[in-house]
A and B are shown apart, each in its own frame.
Chain A
Amino acid sequence: MKKIEAIIKPFKLDEVKESLSALGVQGLTVSEVKGFGRQKGHTELYRGAEYVVDFLPKVKLEVVVPDDKASEIVSAIENAAKTGRIGDGKIFVIPVDEVVRIRTGERGGEAL
Protein backbone atom coordinates (compact mmCIF):
# COMPACT_ATOMS: atom_id res chain seq x y z
CA MET A 1 0.00 0.00 0.00
CA LYS A 2 1.04 3.56 -0.61
CA LYS A 3 0.11 6.80 1.03
CA ILE A 4 -0.17 9.65 -1.44
CA GLU A 5 0.25 13.06 0.10
CA ALA A 6 -0.47 16.05 -2.13
CA ILE A 7 -0.06 19.74 -1.29
CA ILE A 8 -2.28 21.65 -3.73
CA LYS A 9 -3.87 25.02 -4.31
CA PRO A 10 -7.07 25.25 -2.25
CA PHE A 11 -9.34 26.12 -5.18
CA LYS A 12 -8.28 22.92 -6.98
CA LEU A 13 -9.56 20.62 -4.23
CA ASP A 14 -12.95 19.90 -5.82
CA GLU A 15 -11.48 19.01 -9.20
CA VAL A 16 -8.95 16.69 -7.59
CA LYS A 17 -11.60 15.03 -5.46
CA GLU A 18 -13.83 14.42 -8.46
CA SER A 19 -11.07 12.91 -10.52
CA LEU A 20 -10.18 10.58 -7.65
CA SER A 21 -13.82 9.56 -7.18
CA ALA A 22 -13.90 8.68 -10.87
CA LEU A 23 -11.02 6.28 -10.21
CA GLY A 24 -12.91 4.59 -7.37
CA VAL A 25 -11.15 6.19 -4.41
CA GLN A 26 -13.60 5.84 -1.52
CA GLY A 27 -12.11 8.05 1.12
CA LEU A 28 -9.47 10.67 1.71
CA THR A 29 -8.37 13.15 4.34
CA VAL A 30 -7.95 16.87 3.76
CA SER A 31 -6.34 19.53 5.95
CA GLU A 32 -5.82 23.25 5.55
CA VAL A 33 -2.12 23.98 5.83
CA LYS A 34 0.29 26.84 5.27
CA GLY A 35 3.72 26.77 3.79
CA PHE A 36 6.15 28.19 1.34
CA GLY A 37 8.08 26.97 -1.65
CA ARG A 38 9.23 28.81 -4.72
CA GLN A 39 6.03 30.80 -4.85
CA LYS A 40 6.65 34.17 -3.22
CA GLY A 41 4.40 35.39 -0.41
CA HIS A 42 2.67 38.75 -0.50
CA THR A 43 2.83 42.00 1.43
CA GLU A 44 0.03 43.47 3.52
CA LEU A 45 -0.13 47.12 4.47
CA TYR A 46 -2.06 48.50 7.43
CA ARG A 47 -1.73 52.24 8.01
CA GLY A 48 1.91 52.29 7.09
CA ALA A 49 2.81 49.01 8.79
CA GLU A 50 4.01 46.60 6.13
CA TYR A 51 3.96 42.85 6.74
CA VAL A 52 5.46 40.27 4.41
CA VAL A 53 3.36 37.12 4.52
CA ASP A 54 5.59 34.16 3.60
CA PHE A 55 3.27 31.30 4.48
CA LEU A 56 0.54 30.81 1.92
CA PRO A 57 -2.60 28.75 2.46
CA LYS A 58 -2.60 25.34 0.79
CA VAL A 59 -4.61 22.16 1.09
CA LYS A 60 -2.97 18.87 2.07
CA LEU A 61 -4.72 15.80 0.78
CA GLU A 62 -3.88 12.30 2.06
CA VAL A 63 -5.10 9.06 0.56
CA VAL A 64 -3.90 5.48 1.03
CA VAL A 65 -4.27 3.14 -1.97
CA PRO A 66 -3.16 -0.32 -3.15
CA ASP A 67 0.29 -0.41 -4.77
CA ASP A 68 -1.06 -1.10 -8.27
CA LYS A 69 -3.33 1.93 -8.20
CA ALA A 70 -0.77 4.44 -6.94
CA SER A 71 0.67 5.67 -10.18
CA GLU A 72 -2.66 6.35 -11.92
CA ILE A 73 -3.90 8.22 -8.85
CA VAL A 74 -0.75 10.30 -8.70
CA SER A 75 -1.28 11.17 -12.37
CA ALA A 76 -4.92 12.05 -11.74
CA ILE A 77 -3.99 14.43 -8.94
CA GLU A 78 -1.20 15.89 -11.05
CA ASN A 79 -3.53 16.58 -13.97
CA ALA A 80 -6.39 17.97 -11.90
CA ALA A 81 -4.27 20.22 -9.70
CA LYS A 82 -2.13 21.66 -12.47
CA THR A 83 -2.48 25.30 -13.51
CA GLY A 84 1.02 25.61 -14.95
CA ARG A 85 1.80 28.55 -12.71
CA ILE A 86 4.24 28.60 -9.82
CA GLY A 87 2.71 27.37 -6.54
CA ASP A 88 0.78 24.37 -7.88
CA GLY A 89 2.24 22.21 -5.11
CA LYS A 90 3.86 18.78 -4.71
CA ILE A 91 2.91 15.12 -4.46
CA PHE A 92 4.70 12.65 -2.18
CA VAL A 93 4.32 8.86 -2.29
CA ILE A 94 5.16 6.95 0.89
CA PRO A 95 5.06 3.20 1.60
CA VAL A 96 2.52 2.12 4.24
CA ASP A 97 3.09 -0.93 6.48
CA GLU A 98 -0.34 -1.52 7.90
CA VAL A 99 -3.93 -0.29 7.81
CA VAL A 100 -6.64 -1.03 10.37
CA ARG A 101 -10.36 -0.35 9.99
CA ILE A 102 -11.23 0.42 13.59
CA ARG A 103 -14.91 -0.59 13.41
CA THR A 104 -14.33 -4.13 12.15
CA GLY A 105 -10.75 -4.86 12.97
CA GLU A 106 -9.94 -5.61 9.30
CA ARG A 107 -6.27 -5.41 8.43
CA GLY A 108 -4.23 -4.52 5.30
CA GLY A 109 -5.82 -4.17 1.84
CA GLU A 110 -9.19 -5.26 3.27
CA ALA A 111 -9.27 -2.17 5.42
CA LEU A 112 -8.81 0.33 2.59
Chain B
Amino acid sequence: MRQGRIAAAAAVVLATPAYAQESTISSGDTAWILASSALVLFMTPGLALFYGGMTRQKNILSTLMHSIFMIGIITIQWVLIGYTLSFGSDIGQFVGGLDYLFLNGVGQDAAPLAANLPHILFMMFQGMFAIITPALITGAFAERIRFVPFAIFSVLWATLVYDPICHWVWGGGWIQANWKALDFAGGTVVHISSGTAALAAAVVLGRRLGWPHEPMPPNNLPLTVLGAGILWFGWFGFNAGSALAANGLAANAFVTTHVAAATATVTWAMAEFTHRGKASVLGAASGAVAGLVAITPGAGFVGPIASVIIGGIAGVLCYSAVSWKFALGYDDSLDVVGVHGVGGTWGALATGIFASTAVNPAGADGLLAGNPSLLVAQFVSVIATIAYSLIVTFVLLKVVDALFGLRAVQDDEILGLDLSQHGERAYNT
Protein backbone atom coordinates (compact mmCIF):
# COMPACT_ATOMS: atom_id res chain seq x y z
CA MET B 1 0.00 0.00 0.00
CA ARG B 2 1.24 3.40 -0.83
CA GLN B 3 -0.44 5.16 2.03
CA GLY B 4 0.32 8.57 0.60
CA ARG B 5 -1.75 7.73 -2.41
CA ILE B 6 -4.87 6.81 -0.51
CA ALA B 7 -4.75 9.98 1.58
CA ALA B 8 -4.25 12.19 -1.44
CA ALA B 9 -7.01 10.46 -3.30
CA ALA B 10 -9.39 10.73 -0.35
CA ALA B 11 -8.70 14.44 0.00
CA VAL B 12 -9.45 15.02 -3.65
CA VAL B 13 -12.65 13.03 -3.47
CA LEU B 14 -13.88 14.96 -0.43
CA ALA B 15 -13.23 18.28 -2.10
CA THR B 16 -15.09 17.37 -5.25
CA PRO B 17 -18.82 17.08 -5.90
CA ALA B 18 -19.83 13.46 -6.28
CA TYR B 19 -21.26 13.87 -9.80
CA ALA B 20 -18.00 15.17 -11.27
CA GLN B 21 -16.14 11.85 -11.51
CA GLU B 22 -13.79 13.06 -14.23
CA SER B 23 -12.65 16.06 -12.28
CA THR B 24 -10.97 14.01 -9.55
CA ILE B 25 -8.16 13.42 -12.01
CA SER B 26 -5.37 15.91 -11.46
CA SER B 27 -3.46 17.02 -14.53
CA GLY B 28 -0.38 17.80 -12.44
CA ASP B 29 -0.37 14.40 -10.75
CA THR B 30 -1.03 12.70 -14.06
CA ALA B 31 1.90 14.50 -15.66
CA TRP B 32 4.27 13.44 -12.87
CA ILE B 33 3.17 9.81 -12.92
CA LEU B 34 3.47 9.66 -16.71
CA ALA B 35 7.05 10.89 -16.30
CA SER B 36 7.67 8.57 -13.35
CA SER B 37 6.45 5.56 -15.31
CA ALA B 38 9.03 6.33 -18.00
CA LEU B 39 11.71 6.78 -15.32
CA VAL B 40 10.92 3.40 -13.75
CA LEU B 41 10.98 1.69 -17.14
CA PHE B 42 14.42 3.23 -17.79
CA MET B 43 15.76 1.46 -14.70
CA THR B 44 15.53 -1.92 -16.43
CA PRO B 45 17.97 -1.08 -19.26
CA GLY B 46 20.05 0.57 -16.53
CA LEU B 47 20.01 -2.71 -14.62
CA ALA B 48 21.01 -4.50 -17.82
CA LEU B 49 24.19 -2.40 -18.02
CA PHE B 50 24.81 -2.60 -14.27
CA TYR B 51 24.73 -6.40 -14.45
CA GLY B 52 26.19 -6.77 -17.95
CA GLY B 53 29.40 -4.97 -17.02
CA MET B 54 30.02 -7.40 -14.15
CA THR B 55 29.87 -10.64 -16.14
CA ARG B 56 32.65 -12.15 -18.18
CA GLN B 57 33.01 -10.97 -21.77
CA LYS B 58 31.40 -14.13 -23.18
CA ASN B 59 28.18 -13.60 -21.22
CA ILE B 60 27.46 -9.88 -21.34
CA LEU B 61 24.88 -10.04 -24.13
CA SER B 62 22.90 -12.84 -22.51
CA THR B 63 22.85 -10.81 -19.31
CA LEU B 64 21.64 -7.68 -21.13
CA MET B 65 19.02 -9.85 -22.83
CA HIS B 66 17.63 -11.02 -19.48
CA SER B 67 16.61 -7.47 -18.65
CA ILE B 68 15.66 -6.23 -22.12
CA PHE B 69 13.56 -9.30 -22.93
CA MET B 70 11.93 -9.03 -19.51
CA ILE B 71 10.43 -5.69 -20.55
CA GLY B 72 8.78 -7.52 -23.42
CA ILE B 73 7.41 -10.59 -21.69
CA ILE B 74 6.31 -9.02 -18.42
CA THR B 75 4.55 -6.15 -20.18
CA ILE B 76 2.45 -8.73 -22.03
CA GLN B 77 1.89 -10.74 -18.84
CA TRP B 78 0.92 -7.57 -16.93
CA VAL B 79 -1.73 -6.29 -19.32
CA LEU B 80 -3.21 -9.75 -19.86
CA ILE B 81 -3.31 -11.08 -16.29
CA GLY B 82 -0.70 -9.59 -13.96
CA TYR B 83 -2.49 -6.35 -13.22
CA THR B 84 -5.74 -8.01 -12.31
CA LEU B 85 -4.02 -10.61 -10.08
CA SER B 86 -2.31 -7.74 -8.25
CA PHE B 87 -5.02 -5.09 -8.11
CA GLY B 88 -8.28 -6.83 -8.98
CA SER B 89 -11.01 -7.22 -6.37
CA ASP B 90 -9.67 -9.15 -3.42
CA ILE B 91 -9.94 -12.94 -3.18
CA GLY B 92 -9.30 -14.17 0.35
CA GLN B 93 -6.75 -11.41 0.93
CA PHE B 94 -4.35 -13.53 -1.12
CA VAL B 95 -4.69 -12.48 -4.74
CA GLY B 96 -6.68 -10.13 -6.95
CA GLY B 97 -9.72 -11.35 -8.84
CA LEU B 98 -10.09 -11.48 -12.59
CA ASP B 99 -12.23 -8.35 -13.04
CA TYR B 100 -9.41 -6.53 -14.89
CA LEU B 101 -8.47 -9.56 -17.03
CA PHE B 102 -7.10 -8.27 -20.36
CA LEU B 103 -7.45 -4.75 -18.84
CA ASN B 104 -11.21 -5.03 -18.97
CA GLY B 105 -12.60 -1.79 -17.51
CA VAL B 106 -9.18 -0.21 -17.10
CA GLY B 107 -9.55 3.06 -18.95
CA GLN B 108 -9.12 6.78 -18.67
CA ASP B 109 -11.48 7.21 -15.72
CA ALA B 110 -10.14 7.63 -12.20
CA ALA B 111 -8.25 4.65 -10.77
CA PRO B 112 -10.03 2.98 -7.83
CA LEU B 113 -6.88 3.18 -5.69
CA ALA B 114 -5.84 6.64 -6.91
CA ALA B 115 -8.75 8.86 -7.85
CA ASN B 116 -6.35 11.59 -8.94
CA LEU B 117 -4.94 9.45 -11.76
CA PRO B 118 -6.40 7.78 -14.83
CA HIS B 119 -6.79 4.06 -14.13
CA ILE B 120 -4.84 3.10 -17.23
CA LEU B 121 -1.88 5.21 -16.03
CA PHE B 122 -1.99 3.68 -12.54
CA MET B 123 -1.93 0.28 -14.26
CA MET B 124 1.13 1.15 -16.37
CA PHE B 125 3.07 2.75 -13.50
CA GLN B 126 2.58 -0.42 -11.45
CA GLY B 127 3.51 -2.50 -14.49
CA MET B 128 6.98 -0.95 -14.62
CA PHE B 129 7.62 -2.32 -11.09
CA ALA B 130 6.44 -5.74 -12.19
CA ILE B 131 9.02 -5.65 -15.01
CA ILE B 132 12.09 -4.76 -13.01
CA THR B 133 11.43 -7.16 -10.13
CA PRO B 134 12.07 -10.44 -12.00
CA ALA B 135 14.88 -8.65 -13.89
CA LEU B 136 16.63 -8.15 -10.55
CA ILE B 137 16.68 -11.92 -9.98
CA THR B 138 18.61 -12.53 -13.21
CA GLY B 139 21.87 -11.45 -11.55
CA ALA B 140 21.78 -14.64 -9.47
CA PHE B 141 21.76 -17.09 -12.38
CA ALA B 142 23.75 -15.03 -14.89
CA GLU B 143 26.32 -16.85 -17.00
CA ARG B 144 24.74 -20.32 -16.86
CA ILE B 145 20.98 -20.36 -17.59
CA ARG B 146 19.38 -21.40 -20.87
CA PHE B 147 17.36 -18.68 -22.54
CA VAL B 148 13.94 -20.23 -23.16
CA PRO B 149 13.62 -21.85 -19.71
CA PHE B 150 14.70 -18.50 -18.25
CA ALA B 151 11.83 -16.74 -20.05
CA ILE B 152 9.29 -19.37 -18.97
CA PHE B 153 10.47 -19.16 -15.37
CA SER B 154 10.28 -15.37 -15.39
CA VAL B 155 6.68 -15.20 -16.60
CA LEU B 156 5.60 -17.87 -14.11
CA TRP B 157 7.47 -16.13 -11.29
CA ALA B 158 5.77 -12.81 -12.04
CA THR B 159 2.40 -14.58 -12.01
CA LEU B 160 2.84 -16.82 -8.97
CA VAL B 161 5.16 -14.77 -6.76
CA TYR B 162 5.20 -11.09 -7.70
CA ASP B 163 1.50 -10.60 -8.35
CA PRO B 164 0.27 -12.18 -5.08
CA ILE B 165 2.86 -10.37 -2.94
CA CYS B 166 2.01 -7.10 -4.69
CA HIS B 167 -1.63 -7.78 -3.83
CA TRP B 168 -0.85 -8.53 -0.17
CA VAL B 169 1.04 -5.28 0.29
CA TRP B 170 -0.54 -2.78 -2.12
CA GLY B 171 -3.69 -4.31 -3.58
CA GLY B 172 -5.71 -4.85 -0.39
CA GLY B 173 -4.35 -8.24 0.68
CA TRP B 174 -3.64 -9.49 4.19
CA ILE B 175 -0.44 -7.59 4.98
CA GLN B 176 -2.08 -4.29 4.10
CA ALA B 177 -5.44 -5.05 5.63
CA ASN B 178 -4.44 -6.83 8.84
CA TRP B 179 -0.94 -5.73 9.70
CA LYS B 180 -0.83 -2.23 8.21
CA ALA B 181 2.83 -2.78 7.37
CA LEU B 182 4.38 0.07 5.42
CA ASP B 183 6.08 -0.35 2.06
CA PHE B 184 6.23 2.92 0.21
CA ALA B 185 7.77 1.79 -3.07
CA GLY B 186 8.63 -1.89 -2.88
CA GLY B 187 11.01 -2.98 -0.12
CA THR B 188 9.13 -6.25 0.35
CA VAL B 189 7.27 -6.44 -2.96
CA VAL B 190 10.28 -5.72 -5.17
CA HIS B 191 13.55 -6.17 -3.30
CA ILE B 192 12.94 -8.85 -0.68
CA SER B 193 10.87 -10.93 -3.09
CA SER B 194 13.55 -10.79 -5.80
CA GLY B 195 16.48 -11.07 -3.39
CA THR B 196 14.99 -14.20 -1.85
CA ALA B 197 14.14 -15.68 -5.24
CA ALA B 198 17.76 -15.03 -6.19
CA LEU B 199 18.93 -17.21 -3.31
CA ALA B 200 16.66 -20.04 -4.43
CA ALA B 201 17.91 -19.64 -8.02
CA ALA B 202 21.59 -19.67 -7.03
CA VAL B 203 21.01 -22.88 -5.07
CA VAL B 204 18.88 -24.69 -7.67
CA LEU B 205 21.08 -23.80 -10.65
CA GLY B 206 24.30 -24.51 -8.81
CA ARG B 207 27.67 -22.86 -9.14
CA ARG B 208 29.15 -21.63 -12.38
CA LEU B 209 31.90 -23.93 -13.68
CA GLY B 210 35.09 -22.94 -11.92
CA TRP B 211 33.49 -20.86 -9.17
CA PRO B 212 34.96 -19.80 -6.81
CA HIS B 213 38.56 -20.84 -7.55
CA GLU B 214 38.69 -19.58 -11.14
CA PRO B 215 38.97 -15.79 -11.58
CA MET B 216 35.80 -14.20 -12.99
CA PRO B 217 36.62 -10.50 -13.12
CA PRO B 218 34.07 -8.07 -14.57
CA ASN B 219 34.42 -7.41 -18.30
CA ASN B 220 33.43 -3.74 -18.36
CA LEU B 221 33.07 -1.79 -15.13
CA PRO B 222 32.43 1.54 -16.91
CA LEU B 223 29.14 0.00 -18.15
CA THR B 224 28.35 -0.99 -14.57
CA VAL B 225 28.91 2.58 -13.38
CA LEU B 226 26.72 3.93 -16.19
CA GLY B 227 24.05 1.40 -15.22
CA ALA B 228 24.22 2.45 -11.58
CA GLY B 229 23.77 6.07 -12.69
CA ILE B 230 20.71 5.19 -14.76
CA LEU B 231 19.28 3.20 -11.84
CA TRP B 232 19.81 6.17 -9.50
CA PHE B 233 18.11 8.52 -12.00
CA GLY B 234 15.20 6.16 -12.60
CA TRP B 235 14.77 5.53 -8.90
CA PHE B 236 13.41 9.06 -8.51
CA GLY B 237 10.39 7.86 -10.51
CA PHE B 238 10.28 4.63 -8.54
CA ASN B 239 10.19 6.28 -5.10
CA ALA B 240 8.99 9.87 -5.62
CA GLY B 241 6.47 8.52 -8.14
CA SER B 242 5.13 6.18 -5.47
CA ALA B 243 3.55 9.19 -3.77
CA LEU B 244 1.19 8.86 -6.74
CA ALA B 245 0.92 12.63 -6.80
CA ALA B 246 3.08 15.67 -7.53
CA ASN B 247 3.18 16.99 -4.00
CA GLY B 248 5.29 17.51 -0.90
CA LEU B 249 5.35 13.81 -0.11
CA ALA B 250 6.81 13.10 -3.54
CA ALA B 251 9.47 15.73 -2.83
CA ASN B 252 10.23 14.11 0.52
CA ALA B 253 10.63 10.72 -1.14
CA PHE B 254 12.82 12.30 -3.83
CA VAL B 255 15.15 13.75 -1.18
CA THR B 256 15.34 10.68 1.07
CA THR B 257 16.05 8.54 -2.00
CA HIS B 258 18.90 10.73 -3.11
CA VAL B 259 20.39 11.16 0.36
CA ALA B 260 20.34 7.43 1.16
CA ALA B 261 22.02 6.60 -2.16
CA ALA B 262 24.68 9.24 -1.62
CA THR B 263 25.39 8.10 1.94
CA ALA B 264 25.63 4.42 1.03
CA THR B 265 28.02 5.27 -1.82
CA VAL B 266 30.35 6.77 0.76
CA THR B 267 29.94 4.12 3.46
CA TRP B 268 30.43 1.11 1.15
CA ALA B 269 33.62 2.66 -0.20
CA MET B 270 34.75 3.57 3.32
CA ALA B 271 34.09 0.05 4.59
CA GLU B 272 36.13 -1.34 1.71
CA PHE B 273 38.94 1.14 2.30
CA THR B 274 39.07 0.29 5.98
CA HIS B 275 38.85 -3.46 5.42
CA ARG B 276 41.00 -3.95 2.31
CA GLY B 277 42.96 -0.74 1.94
CA LYS B 278 41.39 0.50 -1.30
CA ALA B 279 38.05 2.08 -2.21
CA SER B 280 36.85 0.54 -5.49
CA VAL B 281 34.64 2.06 -8.18
CA LEU B 282 32.56 -1.13 -8.24
CA GLY B 283 32.13 -0.68 -4.48
CA ALA B 284 30.96 2.91 -4.80
CA ALA B 285 28.47 2.00 -7.55
CA SER B 286 27.25 -1.00 -5.55
CA GLY B 287 26.87 1.22 -2.50
CA ALA B 288 24.65 3.61 -4.42
CA VAL B 289 22.35 0.77 -5.42
CA ALA B 290 22.33 -0.65 -1.88
CA GLY B 291 21.28 2.75 -0.54
CA LEU B 292 18.52 3.06 -3.13
CA VAL B 293 17.24 -0.41 -2.24
CA ALA B 294 17.25 0.29 1.50
CA ILE B 295 15.38 3.60 1.31
CA THR B 296 12.68 2.24 -1.02
CA PRO B 297 10.19 1.02 1.64
CA GLY B 298 10.61 4.09 3.81
CA ALA B 299 11.12 6.86 1.26
CA GLY B 300 7.73 8.44 1.93
CA PHE B 301 7.57 7.68 5.67
CA VAL B 302 10.94 8.88 6.98
CA GLY B 303 12.74 12.21 6.85
CA PRO B 304 16.08 13.13 5.27
CA ILE B 305 18.21 12.61 8.39
CA ALA B 306 16.74 9.16 8.97
CA SER B 307 17.66 8.44 5.36
CA VAL B 308 21.30 9.26 6.14
CA ILE B 309 21.23 6.53 8.79
CA ILE B 310 19.31 4.06 6.62
CA GLY B 311 21.63 4.58 3.66
CA GLY B 312 24.75 4.67 5.81
CA ILE B 313 24.03 1.34 7.45
CA ALA B 314 22.94 -0.17 4.12
CA GLY B 315 26.36 0.57 2.59
CA VAL B 316 28.26 -1.24 5.34
CA LEU B 317 25.74 -4.04 5.76
CA CYS B 318 25.51 -4.90 2.07
CA TYR B 319 29.31 -4.66 1.69
CA SER B 320 29.54 -7.33 4.34
CA ALA B 321 26.65 -9.36 2.88
CA VAL B 322 28.18 -9.80 -0.58
CA SER B 323 30.93 -11.88 1.06
CA TRP B 324 28.54 -14.30 2.69
CA LYS B 325 28.25 -16.36 -0.48
CA PHE B 326 31.91 -17.35 -0.22
CA ALA B 327 31.41 -18.61 3.32
CA LEU B 328 28.10 -20.34 2.56
CA GLY B 329 29.09 -21.64 -0.86
CA TYR B 330 26.21 -20.48 -3.08
CA ASP B 331 27.09 -18.76 -6.34
CA ASP B 332 24.88 -15.67 -6.52
CA SER B 333 26.79 -14.37 -9.54
CA LEU B 334 26.06 -10.65 -9.26
CA ASP B 335 25.09 -10.41 -5.57
CA VAL B 336 21.32 -10.04 -5.77
CA VAL B 337 20.94 -11.60 -2.32
CA GLY B 338 23.54 -9.40 -0.70
CA VAL B 339 22.29 -6.14 -2.20
CA HIS B 340 18.54 -6.55 -2.75
CA GLY B 341 17.65 -9.23 -0.21
CA VAL B 342 19.72 -7.84 2.64
CA GLY B 343 19.29 -4.16 1.68
CA GLY B 344 15.53 -4.60 1.24
CA THR B 345 15.19 -6.39 4.57
CA TRP B 346 17.15 -3.70 6.38
CA GLY B 347 15.05 -0.99 4.69
CA ALA B 348 11.75 -2.64 5.62
CA LEU B 349 12.79 -2.99 9.26
CA ALA B 350 14.29 0.51 9.30
CA THR B 351 10.93 1.85 8.17
CA GLY B 352 9.48 0.32 11.34
CA ILE B 353 12.11 2.18 13.34
CA PHE B 354 12.19 5.61 11.69
CA ALA B 355 8.69 6.12 10.22
CA SER B 356 6.94 9.24 11.41
CA THR B 357 3.46 10.63 10.90
CA ALA B 358 5.10 14.05 10.90
CA VAL B 359 6.49 13.10 7.48
CA ASN B 360 3.40 11.28 6.23
CA PRO B 361 0.14 11.52 8.21
CA ALA B 362 -1.25 8.62 6.17
CA GLY B 363 1.65 6.41 7.30
CA ALA B 364 2.42 5.44 10.87
CA ASP B 365 4.81 6.18 13.68
CA GLY B 366 7.71 3.80 14.12
CA LEU B 367 9.74 2.63 17.10
CA LEU B 368 11.53 5.93 17.65
CA ALA B 369 8.20 7.75 17.70
CA GLY B 370 7.03 5.39 20.43
CA ASN B 371 5.18 2.78 18.39
CA PRO B 372 6.90 -0.63 18.51
CA SER B 373 3.91 -2.34 16.90
CA LEU B 374 4.91 -0.99 13.47
CA LEU B 375 8.27 -2.74 13.75
CA VAL B 376 6.40 -5.97 14.52
CA ALA B 377 4.22 -5.46 11.45
CA GLN B 378 7.29 -4.79 9.31
CA PHE B 379 8.92 -7.94 10.67
CA VAL B 380 5.86 -10.02 9.83
CA SER B 381 5.73 -8.63 6.29
CA VAL B 382 9.44 -9.38 5.81
CA ILE B 383 9.18 -12.96 7.09
CA ALA B 384 6.04 -13.64 5.05
CA THR B 385 7.64 -12.31 1.87
CA ILE B 386 10.85 -14.27 2.41
CA ALA B 387 9.01 -17.50 3.22
CA TYR B 388 6.56 -17.27 0.32
CA SER B 389 9.11 -16.20 -2.27
CA LEU B 390 11.69 -18.76 -1.17
CA ILE B 391 9.30 -21.71 -1.20
CA VAL B 392 7.33 -20.89 -4.34
CA THR B 393 10.43 -19.87 -6.30
CA PHE B 394 12.23 -23.05 -5.28
CA VAL B 395 9.35 -25.28 -6.37
CA LEU B 396 8.87 -23.29 -9.58
CA LEU B 397 12.54 -23.60 -10.49
CA LYS B 398 12.47 -27.35 -9.84
CA VAL B 399 9.41 -27.75 -12.06
CA VAL B 400 10.80 -25.65 -14.91
CA ASP B 401 14.12 -27.49 -14.58
CA ALA B 402 12.44 -30.89 -14.75
CA LEU B 403 10.36 -29.91 -17.78
CA PHE B 404 12.81 -27.83 -19.79
CA GLY B 405 16.28 -27.93 -18.15
CA LEU B 406 17.45 -24.61 -16.73
CA ARG B 407 21.18 -25.08 -16.84
CA ALA B 408 23.21 -24.65 -19.99
CA VAL B 409 25.18 -27.80 -20.93
CA GLN B 410 28.84 -27.68 -20.03
CA ASP B 411 30.16 -26.95 -23.52
CA ASP B 412 27.69 -24.09 -23.95
CA GLU B 413 28.66 -22.59 -20.61
CA ILE B 414 32.36 -22.81 -21.50
CA LEU B 415 31.73 -21.26 -24.92
CA GLY B 416 29.65 -18.53 -23.26
CA LEU B 417 25.94 -17.88 -23.36
CA ASP B 418 26.27 -15.07 -25.91
CA LEU B 419 27.37 -17.48 -28.63
CA SER B 420 25.62 -20.62 -27.41
CA GLN B 421 22.21 -19.05 -26.65
CA HIS B 422 22.07 -16.02 -28.93
CA GLY B 423 24.59 -16.65 -31.74
CA GLU B 424 26.41 -13.35 -31.36
CA ARG B 425 29.27 -11.79 -29.47
CA ALA B 426 29.53 -8.38 -27.81
CA TYR B 427 32.97 -7.35 -28.92
CA ASN B 428 34.21 -8.08 -32.43
CA THR B 429 37.73 -6.80 -32.92
A interface with B by C-beta (< 8 Å): 44-49, 51, 53
Nearest 4 pairs of A and B residues by beta carbon: A48-B323, A51-B215, A47-B322, A48-B322
Instruction: Assess whether B422 is interfacial by the CB under 8 Å rule.
Output: no
Question: A47 near B326 (CB under 8 angstroms)?
Answer: no
Question: A49 near B326 (CB under 8 angstroms)?
Answer: yes
Instruction: Assess whether B280 is interfacial by the CB under 8 Å rule.
Output: yes
Closest B residue to A44 by beta carbon equals B217
**Contacting residues, chain B, for A51 (C-beta < 8 A):** 215, 217
**Contacting residues, chain A, for B280 (C-beta < 8 A):** 45-46
Question: A49 near B276 (CB under 8 angstroms)?
Answer: no
Q: How large is the interface on B (under 10, 10 to 19, 20 to 34, 35 or more residues)?
A: 10 to 19
B interface with A by C-beta (< 8 Å): 54, 212, 215-218, 276, 278, 280, 282-283, 286, 322-323, 326, 335
Question: B282 near A46 (CB under 8 angstroms)?
Answer: yes
**Contacting residues, chain A, for B326 (C-beta < 8 A):** 48-49
Cβ distance A55 to chain B, nearest Cβ, rounded Å:
11
- Interface residue from B212, B278, B283, B286 paired with A49 (Cβ < 8 Å): B212
Q: In whole angstroms, what is the CA distance A53 to B217 when docked?
A: 11
Known: A49-B212, A53-B215. 4 other contacts (CB 8 A): A45-B278, A47-B323, A48-B322, A48-B323
Cβ distance B340 to chain A, nearest Cβ, rounded Å:
14
Question: A47 near B217 (CB under 8 angstroms)?
Answer: no
Question: B215 near A45 (CB under 8 angstroms)?
Answer: no
Q: In whole angstroms, what is the CA distance A44 to B326 when docked?
A: 16
**Contacting residues, chain A, for B215 (C-beta < 8 A):** 51, 53
Secondary structure dominating the interface of B: loop
Q: In whole angstroms, what is the CA distance A28 to B346 when docked?
A: 61
Cross-chain pair count, CB within 8 angstroms: 24
**Contacting residues, chain B, for A48 (C-beta < 8 A):** 322-323, 326
**Contacting residues, chain A, for B335 (C-beta < 8 A):** 47
Question: B276 near A45 (CB under 8 angstroms)?
Answer: yes
Cβ distance B229 to chain A, nearest Cβ, rounded Å:
18
Q: In whole angstroms, what is the CA distance A44 to B282 when docked?
A: 12
Closest B residue to A48 by beta carbon equals B323
**Contacting residues, chain A, for B217 (C-beta < 8 A):** 44, 46, 51
Question: B282 near A49 (CB under 8 angstroms)?
Answer: no
Q: In whole angstroms, what is the CA distance A71 to B335 when docked?
A: 57
Cβ distance A36 to chain B, nearest Cβ, rounded Å:
15
Question: B283 near A47 (CB under 8 angstroms)?
Answer: yes
Cβ distance B292 to chain A, nearest Cβ, rounded Å:
17
- Interface residue from A44, A45, A47, A53 paired with B286 (Cβ < 8 Å): A47
Closest A residue to B339 by beta carbon equals A47
**Contacting residues, chain B, for A45 (C-beta < 8 A):** 276, 278, 280
Cβ distance B216 to chain A, nearest Cβ, rounded Å:
7
* Most-contacted residue by chain B among A44, A47, A53 (CB, 10 A): A47
Cβ distance A45 to chain B, nearest Cβ, rounded Å:
6
Cβ distance B187 to chain A, nearest Cβ, rounded Å:
22
- A selection of 11 A-B contacts at a CB cut-off of 8 Å is A44-B217, A45-B276, A45-B278, A46-B282, A47-B283, A48-B322, A48-B326, A49-B212, A49-B326, A51-B215, A53-B215
Cβ distance B337 to chain A, nearest Cβ, rounded Å:
12
**Contacting residues, chain B, for A46 (C-beta < 8 A):** 54, 217-218, 280, 282
Q: In whole angstroms, what is the CA distance A45 to B322 when docked?
A: 13
Q: In whole angstroms, what is the CA distance A33 to B253 when docked?
A: 52
Q: In whole angstroms, what is the CA distance A49 to B216 when docked?
A: 9
**Contacting residues, chain A, for B286 (C-beta < 8 A):** 47
Q: In whole angstroms, what is the CA distance A51 to B216 when docked?
A: 8
Q: In whole angstroms, what is the CA distance A51 to B210 when docked?
A: 13
**Contacting residues, chain A, for B218 (C-beta < 8 A):** 46
**Contacting residues, chain B, for A47 (C-beta < 8 A):** 282-283, 286, 322-323, 335
**Contacting residues, chain A, for B282 (C-beta < 8 A):** 46-47
Closest B residue to A47 by beta carbon equals B322
Q: In whole angstroms, what is the CA distance A42 to B205 when docked?
A: 32
Cβ distance A98 to chain B, nearest Cβ, rounded Å:
34
Q: In whole angstroms, what is the CA distance A43 to B278 when docked?
A: 11
Closest A residue to B321 by beta carbon equals A48
Cβ distance A53 to chain B, nearest Cβ, rounded Å:
8
Closest B residue to A50 by beta carbon equals B276
Closest A residue to B320 by beta carbon equals A48
